[in-house]
Amino acid sequence: MPDYVPYRDDIETIDPDEQETHAKIIQTMTDGQHITREKYGKSVRISHAKAHGLLRGELIVSDELPPEFAQGLFQPGAKHPVVIRLATAPGEYTDDSKLSTVRGMSIKVFNVDGPKLAPFEETTTQDFVLDTGKEFLTSGPKAFLQAFKPNAEIAPKLSDDVKGVVSTVARGTNAVLNMFGANSEKLDFYGHEKKHPLAESYYSQTAIRYGDYVAKLGVIPATPGLFELEQWEFDPQTPDALREATVAFFQSNAAEFGIVVQLNTDLEKMPIEDAMAPWSEDESPYVIVARLVIPAQDAFDASRADVVDGNFSFSPAHSLVVHRPLGGINRARLVVYTTMANMRRQENNRPTNEPTSIDQVPA
């Protein structure tokens, strides 16, 4: 068995001016959110604005797990209802037929007991926020601020036709990189492979506390129907092609994803603070710890979309203490996600409290 790194409270390295960086990120995102509010007549998420799937399901933890993987929420045999939101990464309602970009999956797990992070100590939910790609697009919060400014301040002012040209060029460049076993997460943001959204794998990209250990988390397709979608030549022809494809699949199909965990074995080779650094799967492979079971359903029912997209937020801050997000990117997220979600909901006259039950999501 690999020698897994034990979690300790001083495992992170915090820059002395991080709070100042967080404030600058919030200001940049606020400016960007004001631009899109003028564009759409309402405040939308500054990232992952456009959903293409809103699903109810169940998280079922494996009956047998090695002790080091039976941590926190992931206790053998445990079952939890979940709400899943699938979306594209930009903070805009982009045209799927013109722009291919990174996709995300957010999971809200209900009926979760145990101490939570402030200021959500009274909640009973655990959120996991995932994206395509195993590494984040920047190493830390300062680099993220510089990379995000054009997306927040310039991209909303450009037409989808212009961004589509960028997407095509970036996608072609990534195809060349892939031939040589490489990839650019920065290029992938606007040059993501044209792929059915349910054939994707999604990853935390950044480290989290995993009970007594440190880990990254992923969600991967696990049933034949999803494997078949990987063989499709997905060619979006309409502005909402991702949503249409997701809805069409779940109208007559159920699906399962595997929840996988990669435990840290070496803090130098698998750093917490550098979110761009790959963690070797030869040193520590991903291990399946649970299943995400999703029955056939209307994947974008209007009433459910209104509640989940309007009232809910998905944030790393909605977390058990034993699954606390780690590293500079996540420390920024803990502050920024909460601030921006509250701002969006207040500007739209929506409640800012978190849901307490799956029953608050229309079936």
Q: Residue 360 gets which letter from DSSP?
A: G
Angle subtended at Cα 98 by Cα 96 and Cα 100, rounded to the nearest 5 degrees:
60
Q: For the residues of 93-148, what is the DSSP string, one character each?
A: ---TTT----EEEEEEE-S--S-B-TT-TT---EEEEEESSSS-SSSSHHHHHHHH
Q: How many domains does the chain have?
A: 1
Residues 6+ apart with CB under 8 A from 91: 32, 33, 36, 44, 45, 46, 47, 48, 49, 151, 152, 156
pLDDT number for residue 189: 47
Q: Is the model's pTM score more than 0.95?
A: no
Q: How confident is the model at residue 127 (pLDDT cuts 50, 70, 90)?
A: very high
Count CA atoms closer than 13 A to 248's CA, side-chain side: 9
pLDDT number for residue 153: 56
Judge whether residue 179 has pLDDT over 50. Answer: no
What is the C-alpha to C-alpha distance for residues 10 and 242, in angstroms, rounded to an integer? Answer: 42
Residues 6+ apart with CB under 8 A from 62: 76, 77, 288, 289, 290, 291
What is the C-alpha to C-alpha distance for residues 318 and 333, in angstroms, rounded to an integer? Answer: 11
Mean pLDDT of the chain: 89
Q: Residue 66 gets which letter from DSSP?
A: -
Give the CATH number for residue 294: 2.40.180.10
Domain residues for the domain of 239 are 18-351
Q: What's the token pair of residue 154?
A: 């310039």
Judge whether residue 225 has pLDDT over 60. Answer: yes
Residues 6+ apart with CB under 8 A from 30: 340, 343
Say if 358 falls within a structural domain.
no
What is the C-alpha to C-alpha distance for residues 254 and 258, in angstroms, rounded to an integer? Answer: 14
Q: pLDDT: is 57 or 170 the higher one?
A: 57
Say if 196 falls within a structural domain.
yes
How many secondary structure helices (H) and strands (E) does the chain include?
8, 9
What is the C-alpha to C-alpha distance for residues 169 and 160, in angstroms, rounded to an integer? Answer: 14
Say if 74 falls within a structural domain.
yes
What is the C-alpha to C-alpha distance for residues 196 and 244, in angstroms, rounded to an integer? Answer: 11
Share of residues in the chain with pLDDT > 90 (%): 72
Q: How confident is the model at residue 83 (pLDDT cuts 50, 70, 90)?
A: very high
Say if 36 falls within a structural domain.
yes
Say if 362 falls within a structural domain.
no
Say if 221 falls within a structural domain.
yes
Say if 7 falls within a structural domain.
no
The mean pLDDT of 27-46, rounded to a whole number, is: 91
Q: What's the token pair of residue 69?
A: 């993987």
Say if 3 falls within a structural domain.
no
H-run or E-run covering 88: strand 79-88
